[in-house]
Structure 1
Amino acid sequence: MTAEHRIETARLRRSPRYAAFLLVGAGLGILVAVLLTFLFDGTAEPSATTGVEYSTSQVFGFVCLVCIPVGLALGGGVALVADRMLARRARNVLVDHERVTDPAE
C-alpha cells in the first residue's frame, strides 16, 4: 500500500439552515393570522363590497393568504442576514488530505 499526504487549505464557515428559518416564518405567519382572525371579528356583518357574510374559517383562510408569504419572506430575510454575519467569521484551516492506494488492484 502506498499513501500520499497532501496538506490543503480549506475555508471553514457556518451557515444557517434556511428550511428551519422558513418554517418558523410560516409558523409565525399562521399565528399572526389566527390572532388577526379572532381579535378583529370581521364576520359580524356582511361585507360592504359583496354583501356576503363570511365565516370565521373563510376569514382565517383569506388572512393566511397574506400572512404566510410575509412570514416566509421575513424568515428568509433573517436567514440571509444571519448568513452574511456568519460569513465574516469564516476562517482558513489546514486539512491533511491522504490518499491510500492498493497496488494489488
Structure 2
Amino acid sequence: MSDTSRTPDGTAPDAPQPESAASDALVPAPALPTDAPAPREAMMEIESDDEAVTVRRAPKYGRFIVLGFALGAILALILTFAFPENEEFDRGQVFGFLLLALGTIGVAFGAVVALVFDRVLSGRTRTVVAEHEHTREAE
C-alpha cells in the first residue's frame, strides 16, 4: 500500500489537471453597450382623498364554529365510554350518533358565541380618517 493521497476523482493531488471546455465557460460575458436607450418611464399622477371609515374588531366565525364542533366531538367521546355498552349498538355506532347530534349542537353553540362576541365588540367601534390614493398616468 502506498501513502499517497488521492483526490475525490481518483487522481493524485500533484497530477496535472486536464484542460476542459468547462474552464472556458467561466469567462465573463462581454458587457452590453451602455448607449442603449433607457425604457420610457411613464409619469404618474397621484390624487389623495381623505375618507372617514369605521374600524372595529370582529371575531373569526369559522374558528368559533370549528371549536364548537371539537367540543361536541370530545363530549360525544366522553359520553360514549361513560355509560355501559348497549346490546343493540356497539360503541362505534353510539359514538357516531352522539357525534352527529353533539357536533351539530356544538357548531350552533360556537356560532351563537361568535355572534354574542360580535355584538359586544361592536360597541368599541371608532371612526378614523383614512387616506385613499388614486394613481393614474399623466396626460
Q: Which amino acid is the alignment partner of residue 99 of structure 2? A: C
Shift of 1:100: 2.2
1:22 maps to a residue whose letter is I
Correspondence for 1:49:
none
| Unaligned residue ranges in structure 1 (runs of 5+) | 47-52
Displacement after TM superposition at 1:88 (Å): 0.7
- The Cα of 1:98 is off from its aligned counterpart by 1.5
Measured on the aligned residues, the alpha-carbon RMSD in Å equals: 1.2
SS at structure 2 position matched to 1:88? helix
Q: Give the Cα–Cα distance (whole angstroms) in 2 for the partners of residues 12 and 70 of structure 1.
A: 32
- Partner AA of 1:97 in structure 2: H
Q: Report percent identity of matched pairs.
A: 40
Tell me which of 55, 60, 75 is aligned to 1:32.
Answer: 75
Quick check: 1:42–1:59 contact (8 Å CA) kept in 2? no
Alignment length (residue pairs): 96
Aligned counterpart for 2:111 among listed residues 69, 73, 76: 76
**Structure 2: 5+ residue stretches without partners:** 1-43
How does 1:38-57 map onto structure 2 within 5 Å? 38-43=81-86, 46=87, 53-57=88-92
In structure 2, C-alpha distance between the alignment counterparts of 1:69 and 1:75, rounded to whole Å: 10
1:38 and 1:74 map into 2 onto residues whose CA distance is 23
In 2, Cα distance between equivalents of 1:65 and 1:100: 53
* 1:9 equivalent in alignment to 2:45: no
* Displacement of 1:5: 1.6
TM-score (norm 1): 0.85
Q: Which one has a larger percent helix, Structure 1 or Structure 2?
A: 1
SS of equivalent to 1:15: coil
Q: Decide which structure has the larger Cα Rg and report it.
A: 2
Partner residue in 2 for 1:93: 128
**How far apart, CA to CA, are the structure 1 residues paired with 2:69 and 2:95?**
15
